[in-house]
Amino acid sequence: MDKNTIVGIIGSGAMGSGIAQVAANAGHKVVVYDSNRAALDKAQKSLAATLQKLQEKGKLASAEEVMGRFSFAESVEEFAGCGLIIEAIVERLDVKQSVFAAVEKAVGEDCVLASNTSSLSITSIAAACQHPSRVLGLHFFNPAPLMALVEVIPAIQTNSELIPGAKKLMEQWGKTAVIAKDTPGFIVNRVARPFYGEALRIYEEGMADMATIDWAMTEIGGFKMGPFTLMDYIGHDVNYVVTDTVFQSFFYDPRYKPAFAQKRLLEAGWLGRKSGRGFYNYVEGAAMPQPTKDEVLGTQICERVLAMLINEAAEALYLNIASAADLETAMTRGVNYPKGLLAWCDEWGADKCLEMLDGLYNEYHEDRYRASVLLRKQARGNKKFV
**The binder of ligand NAD chosen from 36, 290, 299, 323 (CB under 6 A):** 36
Of residues 52-111, which lie at the interface with ligand NAD (CB under 6 A)?
88-91, 95, 99
Which of residues 153 and 360 has its CB atom nearest to ligand NAD in the complex?
153
Rounded CA-CA distance 318/40 in Å is 43
Of residues 231-260, which lie at the interface with ligand NAD (CB under 6 A)?
238
- Smallest gap from residue 237 Cβ to ligand NAD (A): 10
- Smallest gap from residue 189 Cβ to ligand NAD (A): 9
Rounded CA-CA distance 98/269 in Å is 31
From 12, 25, 116, 118, the catalytic residue = 118
Query: In this structure, what DSSP letter does residue 277 have?
Result: B
- Smallest gap from residue 116 Cβ to ligand NAD (A): 4
Active site residue 131: no
Is 170 within 8 Å of 139 (Cβ atoms)? no
Q: Please state the φ and ψ torsions of residue 325, each to the nearest 5 degrees.
A: -65, -45
Active site residue 355: no
C-alpha torsion sign, points 100, 104, 108, 110: positive
- Smallest gap from residue 252 Cβ to ligand NAD (A): 21
Residue whose Cβ sits closest to ligand NAD: 13
Which of residues 35 and 52 has its CB atom nearest to ligand NAD in the complex?
35
Q: Give me the DSSP letters along 151-205.
A: EEEE-TTS-TTHHHHHHHHHHHTT-EEEE--SSTTTTHHHHTHHHHHHHHHHHHH
From 87, 116, 139, 239, the catalytic residue = 139
**The binder of ligand NAD chosen from 5, 8, 9, 16 (CB under 6 A):** 16
Active site residue 239: no
Q: How many CB atoms lie within 10 A of CB 283?
A: 8
Rounded CA-CA distance 211/298 in Å is 11
Asked if 334 interacts with ligand NAD (CB under 6 A), we say: no
**The binder of ligand NAD chosen from 44, 117, 229, 372 (CB under 6 A):** 117
CA dihedral 232, 236, 237, 239 (to 10 degrees): 100
- Smallest gap from residue 383 Cβ to ligand NAD (A): 34
Asked if 10 interacts with ligand NAD (CB under 6 A), we say: yes
- Which residue blocks in the chain are alpha helix, DSSP H? 14-25, 37-56, 63-67, 93-106, 122-126, 162-172, 188-191, 193-205, 210-215, 227-234, 236-249, 260-268, 295-318, 324-329, 341-348, 350-364, 373-381
Q: For strands 135-140 and 149-154, give the pairing.
A: antiparallel
Stretch that binds ligand NAD, among 13-21, 48-56, 194-202, 263-271 (CB under 6 A): 13-21
Of residues 125-164, which lie at the interface with ligand NAD (CB under 6 A)?
140-142
Which of residues 14 and 49 has its CB atom nearest to ligand NAD in the complex?
14
Is 188 within 8 Å of 330 (Cβ atoms)? yes
Which of residues 138 and 379 has its CB atom nearest to ligand NAD in the complex?
138
Which of residues 91 and 358 has its CB atom nearest to ligand NAD in the complex?
91
Active site residue 151: yes
Query: Residues with catalytic annotation?
Result: 118, 139, 151, 189
Name the residues that contact ligand NAD, by CB under 6 A.
10-16, 34-36, 39, 88-91, 95, 99, 116-118, 140-142, 238
